[in-house]
A and B are shown apart, each in its own frame.
Chain A
């Protein structure tokens, strides 16, 4: 009698565990590929999950998310992407820039990839058409890369007397060349001289700032690059330390004490990427989902920093700013 009871309990436990196991494969798995670590990416991830929820998917309830973080080492992205492909996830969300999208694209032709990036997906060879992406990719692009020349314009407007500016570029970025040529053309139009400074790791940042004064640069313009965007805090600190007016693509920069930023609204682009992942999970084909451009470009200015740096924003800048930090 007692032995039978024990067997019964064991049997019940076995059934229970099997059922628990049987339930998890039923949930679709989203592979989430990010170039950074969870900390700086939290606001982006939140926006992504909001978009996913808007299309009816909530993590843990009806979808599972497998996270892969490159933690700033962009060289690890291909291996992480391949790992997700090996796990045979339902869809890969490649967010946080063109390098992530390209790494995912190289890893699979079968699994649908939804990208989130700042550059032109056609020019970068991610997709061949915005309206009818052929293949297994679609996604969202903010206009951050395209508006890097506007950053130079804003800097020139802020400092009408300066004739020399510096541009910080990440040579490993796939958009580096196109942004530089656009900036050189803009400098010509604006009649200013441009110095290009390179930095692809955080360790090179101090050297960039140290080089500014000898060059006589009035201000520093950062090209659009996720690596820079996710390192707004140290950049803002360096800029203040060197009393250097600087502009980046991300609102994180003025929020962290930088002077200003001009770039696409990343909450919108990440939210829409989440929305597209949900629609792919529902069974829509990537070719039916045109690549979305986030039209909203936002100008953030920090008046406190301006006071520290001793610069004054002209009314035209203040009036066109989306957010003025006082």
Chain B
């Protein structure tokens, strides 16, 4: 039982796993490939997007600087004379008003002398003629037309840039502007990358030029503040053309890309929080995970239910076969799955019904065999109709046999001896009765009654009965030789009569006997009683029926017990076996 339980579990697990995996594996494969390709697509999109954003931001910063240099360009078009240039002074003041980022302007003539200085804070100067030709701004502008200085911090806080521009010939001189870079804030804070992304600007050595959070810029050249910005720029350089990932000043993970601002050698970095940049793919991942979980749960339930459905009928079949094996032929296996298993159960049930029928038949045959010859019993059973056993009126030959002196013997002898004699006696007679397909209706003690022509009719019943009687005598007489050697004084007489009788089954429930009722039975019994040892007595009807076919010796009329007048009696001789003689 335990082994069966284990086997049952194993099958369940197999079915469950197979069904579960059949759903989950393709689902997982799909989900994972979807996520992977989605992730790659998103990375490619981000590469493109951040690259565009960085270039666009750099263009805006460049435009801020270009605006200043363009405006300055107007002021270095006319050559300086020795006279003070009042018009250029007015233009310079107008420029200060026009470009708020310019804090001060210095004009140097072709000889490198300062001709004009205007400022928002300090006092203006005119014609100071100080030699400024050695200053880097003047030399730089002379060399490359537009010159950008190094980033400097006013009072360690505000970022300033010196921009110098020269005209198309030396005599127009050079304009040098001090630019307060804090005003890039308007530009940089207007740049939005995605929803929460931002841009910032670093100069060559990695100092912060502009950032939407102005307070970071105003901290000046503070290495602690600048480290995260420098780190992310290095990450971008390392990652080449693709976007880089790193942490921003708050420690959040960001995706970043950069683009150069050519003039002053700055770098514009755009960054977007990774959570936002990969937002769509994260959402897709969560969806996939959710689907996978739901799918797995559904697959689990389905697999469980299906496995149960498969295992349950198998279990019922198992129980059914056990019960049928134990002989419960009335057991029926109830499976209504509408598939092969139901068909199997139905064929099992049909088999059980057949087995039950077959067993019943076996039992009936066994019963019939009690009074019918086995071949007759088989025949009756094969026909499936025991109507042959029904009561009817027919011509029968009744044969009675009886041991002589048995009562006296049985009174003297030991029970073992009595039973031994009876068993030898019935064994011999039974063989003969079976051989002649006669019907043994009853036996009691040493006497027995045999019917011929009922229930199965035979041709020439009298002849068969005579041969039967003769063989019975021969067989018993052979036994008697042995018995007499042992000192048992017994003999055997047979009587038979032919005539009409009522034959049929009598009895109750399973205790049925086949018997004949009528005067012919009585006559046969009387003839038997009248017969001496080694004698077969027949009535006139038998004698007449076998006349000319068997030897019949008329013994003349005899008065038989129970009959008022004498009846003709015939003796049937039989030849004893050589051994008996």
Contact = CB atoms under 8 A, between A and B. Distances in A.
Interface of A: 122, 129-132, 143, 146-147, 149-150, 153, 186, 189-190, 279, 288-293, 295-297, 315-316, 319-322
Interface stretch (B88-96, B231-239, B381-389, B493-501): B88-96
Given A279-B215, A319-B90, 17 more contacts: A130-B157, A131-B155, A131-B157, A143-B120, A149-B122, A190-B123, A291-B157, A292-B214, A293-B157, A293-B158, A295-B180, A295-B182, A295-B183, A315-B90, A316-B90, A319-B93, A321-B97
Contacts of A146: 121
B103 interface: yes
B482 interface: no
B124 A153 contact: yes
B176 to A, nearest CB: 19
Contacts of A186: 123
A279 B213 CA distance: 11
5 contacts: A130-B157, A132-B219, A150-B123, A292-B215, A295-B158
B116 to A, nearest CB: 12
Nearest to B89: A316
Most buried by A among B103, B180, B182, B215: B215
In this complex, which of A279, A297, A315, A316 has the most chain B Cβ atoms within 10 angstroms of its Cβ? A316
B181 to A, nearest CB: 10
Contact of A130 (B86, B103, B156, B182): B156
Interface in B512-527: none
B363 interface: no
B222 A131 contact: yes
A292 B153 CA distance: 13
Given A131-B219, A290-B157, A320 B97 contact: yes
Nearest to A293: B158
A290 B180 CA distance: 16
A297 B96 CA distance: 11
B263 interface: no
A319 B121 contact: no
B157 A319 contact: no
Nearest to A316: B90
B35 interface: no
Interface in B166-223: 180, 182-183, 214-215, 218-220, 222
Contacts, number: 72
B121 A131 contact: no
Given A131-B156, A131-B222, A319 B124 contact: no
Contact of A297 (B90, B120, B183, B220): B120
Contact of A131 (B86, B93, B153): B153
Given A131-B157, A132-B222, A153 B123 contact: yes
B100 interface: yes
A153 B215 CA distance: 33
Interface string B83-109: 000100110011011001001000000
A322 B89 contact: no
A186 B121 CA distance: 12
Nearest to A120: B155
Closest 10 CB pairs of A and B: A290-B218, A320-B93, A130-B157, A131-B157, A131-B220, A319-B94, A316-B90, A131-B156, A289-B215, A320-B97
A323 to B, nearest CB: 11
Contact of B121 (A130, A150, A288, A291): A150
Contacts of B183: 295
Contacts of A297: 120-121
Nearest to A153: B123
Contacts of B156: 129-131
B47 to A, nearest CB: 34
B123 A189 contact: yes
B218 A131 contact: yes
Contact of A316 (B93, B100, B215): B93
A130 B96 contact: no
A129 B180 CA distance: 19
Interface in B235-249: none
A321 B96 CA distance: 10
Interface in B111-158: 120-124, 153, 155-158
B294 to A, nearest CB: 40
A288 B158 CA distance: 15
Nearest to B94: A319
A289 B94 CA distance: 34
Given A131-B219, A295-B180, A143 B94 contact: no
Given A153-B124, A293-B158, A320 B94 contact: yes
A143 B219 contact: no
B340 to A, nearest CB: 72
Contacts of A130: 155-158, 218
Contacts of A279: 215
A94 to B, nearest CB: 19
Nearest to B125: A189
A7 to B, nearest CB: 52
B183 to A, nearest CB: 7
Contacts of B182: 295
B93 A296 contact: no
Contacts of B222: 131-132
Nearest to A190: B123
A296 B157 contact: no
B117 to A, nearest CB: 12
Nearest to B182: A295
A290 B215 contact: yes
B96 A320 contact: yes
A321 B98 CA distance: 10
B464 to A, nearest CB: 117
Contacts of A129: 156
B100 A296 contact: yes
Contacts of A292: 214-215, 218
